[in-house]
Amino acid sequence: MPAKFVSNKDETIRLFKNPVLEYFSHIHPATPIVVFTPVVIYMLYIASQSLVASEIVSYFLLGVVIWTLTEYVIHRWAFHYEPHSQWAKNLHFLVHGIHHDYPRDSTRLVMPVPVSVPLAILFYYLFRLAFGVYTPPLFAGFMTGYVVYDSIHYATHHWPMRSGVGKWLKDYHIRHHFEDDHTAYGVSNPFWDFVFRTVPDYLREKQVKKGY
């Protein structure tokens, strides 16, 4: 079983001497919901002006799937990249290292808006190049996936989640922190861990026992 995990919202560390930078390094976990839910609603409204319901639903779901892969790729190959130079190590600590060193810090679980908004704009224009008129519902699904991911990530660290799917996801993510950070890169779901064979040993052993 994973180590017992008790939320302590006061556990943190100062990152910047500058008080302004330090202030903006703390992000309320509800920020993605507040910022991006209106974007999702607007994208769906735009989609409804030119697309039929089946197209909207199909591309919305495709956007969610694309997000889950993006989540896995960023977590595995960007957040867990092992830098060698000192400046790269410092940057990595700011981006993700602090979360592993201080996993109970509730104000550094989500991406700051000055970073998340430009990234969202970048993905939007990439989708426009690739999907054209189907971009609004696809982008709505993509951003919904992001918001759900951040909400689940916060919940796995700070909510009890003592039963059902919630408990399973909490145990799955906490093992990533306390047992093996080279597995269980999926936070909102484990699908791509199974695809890329990065499931934790305890799940792999269960698969072997079941003959998979």
pLDDT value of residue 7: 38
Answer whether 0.75 is exceeded by the pTM.
yes
In a domain, 187, yes or no: yes
User: Using one digit for the tens of pLDDT, what is the confidence trace for 8-34?
Assistant: 445 778 887 888 888 878 889 999 999
User: Using one digit for the tens of pLDDT, what is the confidence trace for 63-84?
Assistant: 999 999 999 999 999 999 888 8
CB 169 within 8 A of CB 156: yes
In a domain, 115, yes or no: yes
In a domain, 6, yes or no: no
pLDDT value of residue 1: 35
Number of structural domains, the chain? 1
In a domain, 18, yes or no: no
Q: What percent of the chain has pLDDT over 70?
A: 91
In a domain, 65, yes or no: yes
Burial (CB < 10 A; 0-12, 13-18, 19+), residue 70, is middle
Q: What percent of the chain has pLDDT over 90?
A: 62
In a domain, 177, yes or no: yes
User: Using one digit for the tens of pLDDT, what is the confidence trace for 83-104?
Assistant: 889 988 887 777 787 888 888 8
What is the band of 206 on the pLDDT scale with cuts at 50, 70, 90?
low
In a domain, 2, yes or no: no
Tell me the residue range of the domain where 161 lies.
30-210
What is the band of 208 on the pLDDT scale with cuts at 50, 70, 90?
very low
Of 207, 210, 202, which is closest to residue 171 (Cα–Cα)?
Answer: 202
What value does the mean pLDDT take over residues 179-195? 94
In a domain, 23, yes or no: no
User: Using one digit for the tens of pLDDT, what is the confidence trace for 99-151?
Assistant: 888 888 888 888 888 889 999 999 999 999 999 999 999 999 999 999 999 99
What is the band of 5 on the pLDDT scale with cuts at 50, 70, 90?
very low
